[in-house]
A and B are shown apart, each in its own frame.
Chain A
Amino acid sequence: MENTTRLPSQDREKRHISAKNKYGWFFISFPVIILAVFMLYPIISSLFLSTMSSRGMIQKFVGLRNYVKLLKDTVFLQALKNTFIFFIIQVPIMLFLALIIASLLNDKSIKFRGLFRTGIFLPAVTSLVTYALLFKMMFSLDGLINKFLLAIHLISEPIPWLMDPFWAKITVMIAMTWRWTGYNMIFYLSGLQNIPDELYEAAEIDGANKLRQFRFITVPMLKPIILFTAITSTIGTLQLFDEPMSFSSGGVTAATIGPGNSLLTMSVYIYNLCFKYMPNFGYAATVAYVIVILVAILAIIQFKLAGDKR
């Protein structure tokens, strides 16, 4: 404090800051208390669990041994591999498709834009139970998709969509892309509305074609939103649970998740460790924390990638 005499205005400011502080706590107290009970407590509790080994009711402390055990667990490694296949193939295809549709729809000369937008977003309102059921019926051996592909002579015999390890993954990826592309498109479309038309007009005058406009205006301007959708999709895919569970025949009680465990993801493995085998909550919590760590690493990489290109 250099000033020895305090001005009344300073006093008022100080009072204002403390009042501001008080109200700040008031506003955030409700969500923070609820999250502390129903989110933070379970998170910490399962972190403790991840250092325990449990067989039914008996628990004993094992420190980091659960994490070491994971590296030699072939089922876990398969779950890890499956999850990453979904992540590496499905996420880029979906986001790219969403971006293309959004930029096509942003063209003001297109007729029925509202209709297209609504229709393409519509899958995002369906529930998992619903769309899994619809897709399972459509992709059955004598289902609509096979009938259609046979009719247009694209294939000569039906594809065993959900009975073959390779095709089962493809089917789930198609279903996920159907469900989430429109959802991501809405974010891009909203972002595109914030880009001034003059930028495109100027590029047009300079002789830049649509492809170059897409590459040099749309993508850089949407970078924060692309980053946002990439991170939420990463989180969603690494936690992938509902789809593999509903698409595998027999569901919860089946011996394998998908043919040859081809749909076994890390979250499904957690569920199995808790409810299917002799429950080992500690080991399950360890798998959960591996997912958290992987998401964190991938998010950092994505932030870096987005930053460097600028």
Chain B
Amino acid sequence: MRKSLKKILQYAFLIAAFVVAVFPFYWMVVGATNSAVEIVKGKITFGNQLGKNFKTLFAEYDVARIFFNSCKVAILTVIGQLIISSMGGYGFELFASKARDKIYGIVMMTMMVPFAALMIPLFRLIVRFNLLDSHLGLILTSLTSVFLIFFFRQSFKSFPKEIIQAARVDGAGEFRIFYSIVVPSMKATYAAAAIYSFMTSWNAYMWPLIVLQSNQKKTMQLLISTMSSAYFPEYGVIMAAILISTLPMIIIFFGLQSYFVQGITGSLKQ
């Protein structure tokens, strides 16, 4: 009897957490099917404005191009971050030495510095390299993620060293060992890192706001923030834009979800 009461409480708590977490997503989908007036009124059932909202969105803004911009920046950033950060994590873990551990310490400490502090020197740097208002300026500055270096190093800790030793005895070069033995067997780690990396790049707001200036260069986040600061925000249309910008994240997350948990679990083992 007491046991079943406990179970009920357990489910009640989880269901409550689930509803709170998911409701805004439901509302976002519903919102895209309603008009601005209906949204403000608090309507939470499906309407029939979906087609109209999307038509207005695509007529008023160059959404296809902006969506492509976001994809381009995010994909190139993910590729760069995965290659460079995983090499870093691998180097720091498997070739640990006193000097390199000191460098690792310094690298980790940079995590404590707020981005607001880097903004001005970084902006000047971008101007000097002539990268203002370019996607390259965004990609280049985020080619390496300190968090991912840490994450990869933690994950490589559990990689069996005997395999690497055996490959060395067989005469394989260090770089070959890395890309043909280590990388393919750490799929879950790379998938988890890819989700993290895509998420931060796709959702970035502050830095793109500073670097990108012309309308054709904008990303989805900048579009949404422009739309919402309009004098008369068209909420239905905004909800449609939000839907488009959130969908890729949800698809990627669902696609790689099982890897994601596995990857994080792997990095926590010691």
Give me the interface of A with B, judged by CB distance under 8 Å. Answer: 19-21, 23-28, 30-32, 34-35, 37-43, 45-46, 49, 97, 100-101, 104-105, 107, 109-110, 115-131, 133-135, 137-138, 142-144, 147, 178, 181-182, 186-187, 189-191, 193-194, 210, 224-225, 235, 238-239, 241-242, 246, 251, 266-267, 270-271, 274, 281, 284-285, 288-289, 291-292, 295-296, 299
Q: Is the CB of A292 within 8 A of B221?
A: no
Q: Is the CB of B95 within 8 A of A20?
A: yes
Closest residue on chain A to residue B122 by CB atoms:
A42
Those of B218-260 within 8 Å (CB) of chain A: 221, 224-225, 228-229, 235, 238, 242, 245-246, 249-250, 253-254, 257, 260
Q: Is the CB of B249 within 8 A of A126?
A: yes
Q: Is the CB of A28 within 8 A of B42?
A: no
Q: Is the CB of A39 within 8 A of B118?
A: yes
User: Contact string, B86-130, partner A, CB cutoff 8 A, digits 1/0?
Assistant: 011011101111001001001100111111111111100100000
Q: Return chain A residues, CB-CB under 8 Å to B242.
A: 130, 133-134
Instruction: Let me know if B205 is at the binding interface, CB within 8 A.
Output: yes
Of the candidates A19, A30, A118, A270, the one whose C-beta lies within 8 Å of that of B88 is: A30
Q: Return chain B residues, CB-CB under 8 Å to A25.
A: 91, 100
Complexed CA–CA distance, A225 and B267 (Å):
11
Task: Give the A-B pair count, Cβ closer than 8 A.
Answer: 250
Q: Return chain A residues, CB-CB under 8 Å to B83.
A: 30
Of the candidates B116, B202, B225, B261, the one whose C-beta lies within 8 Å of that of A267 is: B116
Closest residue on chain A to residue B241 by CB atoms:
A130
Instruction: Let me know if B181 is at the binding interface, CB within 8 A.
Output: no
Instruction: Let me know if B40 is at the binding interface, CB within 8 A.
Output: yes
**Which of A21, A41, A125, A190 has most B Cβ within 10 Å?**
A125
Q: List 10 A-B contacts (CB under 8 A).
A: A24-B96, A26-B91, A26-B175, A31-B88, A31-B144, A35-B146, A38-B140, A42-B118, A122-B25, A137-B39
**Which of A126, A128, A246 has most B Cβ within 10 Å?**
A126
Instruction: Let me know if B57 is at the binding interface, CB within 8 A.
Output: no
Of the candidates B87, B118, B245, the one whose C-beta lies within 8 Å of that of A127 is: B245
Output the least CB separation between A61 and chain B (Å). Answer: 18
Q: Return chain B residues, CB-CB under 8 Å to A97.
A: 17
Complexed CA–CA distance, A147 and B106 (Å):
51
Output the least CB separation between A100 and chain B (Å). Answer: 8
User: Contact string, B135-179, partner A, CB cutoff 8 A, digits 1/0?
Assistant: 000001101101001000000000000000000000000110010
With contact pairs A21-B95, A123-B21 given, residues A32 and B250 touching in the complex (Cβ less than 8 Å):
no
User: Contact string, B23-66, partner A, CB cutoff 8 A, digits 1/0?
Assistant: 01101100000000001101010000000000000000000000
With contact pairs A28-B91, A125-B246 given, residues A34 and B84 touching in the complex (Cβ less than 8 Å):
yes
Beyond A122-B25, A130-B28, 6 additional contacts (C-beta under 8 Å) are A20-B95, A39-B110, A130-B242, A187-B264, A271-B119, A274-B120
